[in-house]
Amino acid sequence: MSAAGSSGNVIRKYLPVYFILLAIFLVEVFLSFQHFATGTLVVVLLLLAICSATLGLMYFMHLADERRGLLLTLIPVTIFVLLMMNMFWSDSVRLLHMRPGAQ
């Protein structure tokens, strides 16, 4: 295979991922015009964003092609830290409303 042909092939290879990402985004835009409660909308959009990010990580960033050890080292730690933030931020919002937990 010539070098010039290879880059074209890699773009063709990842075109389905590209179109899936665009499709997910358009679904998000459509959902944002539906009359959901804010909390529900945030959760649904976040789940769709996680799907997009997973595709981006696995195929555009080639994490799927790397050794499994890299994925198992990076991703669980990131998820753990983000979930821990979830604890901290709920606390900060409670303080924003001046409603300390003891009361």
Partner 1 sequence: MSESEMAVHGHGALLEESPYAIPSRKLTMWLFIISDAVTFGAFLFAYGYIRVSAANWTRPFESGSVVNVIVMTVVLITSSLTMLGAVDASKEGDKAKAMRFLYSTMALGALFASLHLREWFALFGRHITLSSGLFGQTFFTITGLHLLHVICGVIAIFVVSKMYASGRLSAGYVENTGLYWHFVDLVWMFVVPLVYLTNFAH
Token pair 């499709």 is at which residue? 23
Q: Which residues contact 31 (CB under 8 A, 6 or more apart)?
A: 41, 44, 45, 48
Considering only residues 16, 61, 64, 95, which one is a binding residue for partner 1 as defined by CB under 8 A?
Answer: 61
The reply on whether position 28 binds partner 1 by CB under 8 A is yes
**Amino acid, single-letter form, for residue 5:** G
**Amino acid, single-letter form, for residue 21:** L
Compute the distance between CA of residue 52 and CA of residue 17 in angstroms, rounded to an integer. Answer: 9
The residues binding partner 1 (CB under 8 A) are 3-4, 6-8, 10-11, 14-15, 18, 21-22, 25-26, 28-29, 31-33, 35, 38-39, 41-42, 45-46, 48-49, 52-53, 56-57, 60-61, 66-67, 69-70, 73-74, 77-78, 81-82, 85-86, 89-90, 92-93, 96-97
